[in-house]
Amino acid sequence: MVGLLDQARKKAEKEFPASRRFDRLMKRLSELRLKYEHLGDAADKTDVYASLEERTRRILGAGRFGEAELDAVLRHAAAAWYDLAGKRAPYQWYTVSFFVATIGFFLLAPQFFPAIFALLFVVPVFIGLKGLKARTLNGFTLTAMIFPVSLLVATTAARSYFSAILGDLPAFAAQMASSYHIAEDTASLLVVVFAAVSVVTGCAAIVGAIVGFRHRDMFV
């Protein structure tokens, strides 16, 4: 793969005009080359490497090699590196954070926002989930949308529930029991449960956003 990246650099230096975008692409290429150089020859025997090599050769062998083609080479190489290097932890952390943040969002949002607010995210979450499994850039974009709104909802819920726990819990529980037609003891328990859910949801949203931003190149 190092040799193919060198070929991509030569074609780019020959055909691309100097620009800031060109410099950024060359920087990405240099960083990837170093990563693949450290992998050694063991990665060459895997199916992931064979597929990456075939795709890269096909792009390099095409008649036109512009910035879009170079970007495609770099994106596929960057994503494949995670599998070849055995670095699956960022993807696993991102996936778990997404599911926890999403579940927390749909549990808490209807309690503090109009129902339409949560419904707006049903389709993007469903489509994003399919893209997440395939590790597509579109899947990343759609799933990442859940983190800021989950953090917003979690912060709103935490402020309400912890204020009740630290303040007048019986009065808050009584009001909640009246709204949802449940026993006050059950309402008191739910306040504690939802307070915990808000904390977990907020943490998942923060972790997911950080991991996703730092490792967004694992998506193609």
pLDDT digit string (tens) for 116-131? 988 999 999 999 998 9
CA dist., res. 184 & res. 116, Å (int): 28
* Segment 64-92 mean pLDDT: 87
Q: Which run of H or E residues covers position 51?
A: helix 47-61
pLDDT at 152: 94
Where on the phi/psi map is residue 62: left (φ > 0), alpha (ψ -120 to 50), or beta? beta
pLDDT tens string 157-182:
999 889 888 888 888 888 888 877 88
**How buried is 113 (Cβ within 10 angstroms: 0-12 exposed, 13-18 middle, 19+ buried)?**
middle
Residue 206, C-beta contacts closer than 8 angstroms, at least 6 positions apart: 147, 151
* Segment 87-92 mean pLDDT: 92
pLDDT at 150: 95
More confident residue, 86 or 147: 147
Query: Tokens in use for 173?
Result: 């529980």
Selection from 69-78, 183-192, 201-210 with the highest mean pLDDT: 201-210
Amino acid present at 96: V
* 103 C-beta neighbours (distance < 10 Å), count: 15
CA dist., res. 193 & res. 165, Å (int): 11
pLDDT tens string 22-35:
788 888 888 888 88
pLDDT at 11 over 90: no
Q: What is the pTM of this model?
A: 0.85
pLDDT at 12 over 90: no
Among residues of the chain, what percentage have pLDDT more than 70? 97
Question: Domains of the chain: which residue ranges?
Answer: 2-84, 89-218
CA dist., res. 124 & res. 128, Å (int): 6
pLDDT at 67: 79
pLDDT at 175: 84
**What is the SS3 string spanning 106-160?**
HHHHHHHCCHHHHHCCHHHHHHHHHHHHHCCHHHHHHHHCHHHHHHHHHHHHHHH
Amino acid present at 170: P
CA dist., res. 154 & res. 53, Å (int): 44
Among residues of the chain, what percentage have pLDDT more than 90? 35
**What is the SS3 string spanning 82-96?**
HHHCCCCHHHHHHHH
pLDDT at 46: 75
